[in-house]
Amino acid sequence: MHVCSKVRRQMNPYEEIENKVKNAASLEDSAEILEILLSGGFSVWEDGSLYNIKQLVARVNGLRIEVFSNEHPPPHFHISGGDIDATFSIVDCEHLEGKIGRREKALVEWWYQRSRQCLIDAWNNSRPSDCTVGSVVE
């Protein structure tokens, strides 16, 4: 299995939530699902489909890498944690805004060169049908 496929599978919680709803045996079980929806950044599109406002691509030792579902151009990812709170272009890793040290920026760029396809997959898989920013096309 391709590494990005594993990441993509972890990022899409919709099937898991649907299964939990179908298998809820009590009001308490149903309430737990509602708590997940309300606290987990979920929303509902006009067509009734569930989506997550932001997709956590990865979290390691307090560092978060995220893409947001209905974002402004250009396609980008967010890195936050520790002394880092920065946004980078998915297309070329340009530092768009935010706080990051020179050493950390160089490491993000090194990592990006090796993880670019996973970021593109994460971005493309999180696009709702009516998103103002479409998929990243190679």
Mean pLDDT of the chain, nearest integer: 78
Q: Express each pLDDT in 42-99 by its tens digit.
A: 777 777 777 765 565 666 667 888 887 767 889 999 998 888 999 999 999 999 999 9
Higher pLDDT, 7 or 65: 65
Q: How many residues does the chain have?
A: 138
Phi, psi (degrees; rounded to nearest 5) at 71: -105, 170
Distances (CA, A) of 15 to 12, 18, 89: 7, 5, 29
Q: Where are the domains of the chain?
A: 3-125
Per cent of the chain over pLDDT 70 is: 78
- Mean pLDDT, rounded, for 100-123: 89
pTM (predicted TM-score):
0.63
pLDDT (0 to 100) of residue 85: 93
The alpha carbon of residue 95 and the mean position of all alpha carbons in its chain are separated, in whole angstroms, by: 18
pLDDT (0 to 100) of residue 94: 97
Q: Express each pLDDT in 17-33 by its tens digit.
A: 888 888 888 788 878 87
Phi, psi (degrees; rounded to nearest 5) at 30: -65, -40
